[in-house]
Amino acid sequence: MDREEEFRSVLPTKEMVEVKTPEKSGQALTSAEAVHGQGKGDLSEFYKLTRATTVMVNGGTLWVLRLVDQVTKYPPTTLTEDTAVWGPHTEALARNTWKLTVKKTGENTYSYTVSAKAKEAQDPAFVDVITGTHTAAVDAAGEPLKGFGKGEFTLDWDKQATLPEHDENVGRFTVKYAREDDTSAATVDAAFRQVRDENDTSKRVDADYRYAATPAQGGQFDFKLVQDWYKAEGSAAKETLTIKSRWLESGAGRSDVELSGGDLGSKEAHVNECWDTTFASRFLRASYAFPEEVQYGIEANDCAFATASYSSL
């Protein structure tokens, strides 16, 4: 493996950072009352929430991957024993100029930075939009394996917002990943910090996500969101909502939901739902009251996972 190929091979790939769930379209997670009006046999609401939320997480990671691919499709402008630099490069009609720097920091360890500036600005104006580290998995010859290893990267939307071309995102997005080989469990932890609250765009919130999957064995996805879910009169206290979804390779799965803190005090609210291989809801239990109590199915018979397991996020 030549030096240029080595530096390319240690950059994150889709296989490392993609969060995968059984596929069927869903909707965004915007309400704690996801199961209101749902009946047995309907498309599972918590399956849809899980699916849609993984799509949102993937959106941030895939943006990073597309940018890295865009910059590295050209030969590096600088290549030494321990450093490769791509750029500065500006796409036709683009207002931003990008640069990628990869450094070897130790045996099988690397760091990288994606920097950007306004096209007409001088080099001191570069800001680090993406920073990351990677520890490569290696083959029998000791060479890095593309698509395997562990590491993390951070996308800083606040810094991106200082550029002439940027989207409407705010805050930071950090991903930690591990994929040692094609048979081991792959894990992705994602943290959104001080991002815009979709329910009140004047506020910022934090959210955490954890994904793990083993080939041919299914997987699980946890997420935690802290915001004012329970609208008590005269209070804007924030509650913590956690959802842990597990599924088999067949697609059948279960979500266990917990709402705590804030105006709930020492109390907790729970929802448990199971779906079958067609993602139809087969079991639902809710510990809080709707206008009509929502509960159906038999947990022992209708659930791929017979007992609840709440997120530890």
Distance, CA of 289 to CA of 284 (rounded, Å): 13
Is 36 inside any structural domain?
no
What pLDDT does residue 33 have?
A: 43
Please report how many Cα atoms fall inside a 13 Å half-sphere around the Cα of residue 230, on the Cβ side. Answer: 18
- Asked whether the beta carbons of 98 and 116 are under 8 A apart, the reply is yes
Burial 49-60 (b: 16+ CB within 10 A, else e): bbbbbbbbbbeb
DSSP H/E element including 227: strand 219-227
Could you tell me which residues come within 8 angstroms of residue 95 by beta carbon, excluding any fewer than 6 positions away? 118, 119, 163, 164, 165
Is 176 inside any structural domain?
yes
Is 29 inside any structural domain?
no
Comparing C-alpha atoms, which of 175, 111, 181 is closest to residue 146? 181
Is 308 inside any structural domain?
no
Q: Any idea what the Cα angle at residue 49 is, between residues 47 and 53, rounded to 5°?
A: 120
What pLDDT does residue 26 have?
A: 38
Is 31 inside any structural domain?
no
SS3 category, 122: coil
Tally of domains in the chain = 1
Distance, CA of 44 to CA of 164 (rounded, Å): 42
Please give the model's pTM, rounded to 2 decimal places.
0.84
Q: CA of 274: how far to CAs of 5, 40, 87, 251, in Å?
A: 46, 10, 50, 11
Distance, CA of 241 to CA of 222 (rounded, Å): 11
Is 201 inside any structural domain?
yes
The phi and psi torsions of 189 (rounded to 5 degrees) equal -110, 125
Instruction: Give residue 277's domain range.
Output: 3-23+42-302
For tokens 């379209």, what's the residue? 25
The phi and psi torsions of 169 (rounded to 5 degrees) equal -70, 150
Comparing C-alpha atoms, which of 178, 152, 198, 153 is closest to residue 56? 198
Is 169 inside any structural domain?
yes
Question: Is the backbone peptide bond immediately before 88 cis, with ω within 30 degrees of 0?
Answer: yes
**Consecutive sets of 10 residues in the chain, 313 residues long: mean pLDDT of each?**
92 87 50 56 88 85 88 93 96 95 97 97 97 96 93 96 95 95 90 87 89 89 88 86 94 94 90 94 81 76 96 93
Is 195 inside any structural domain?
yes
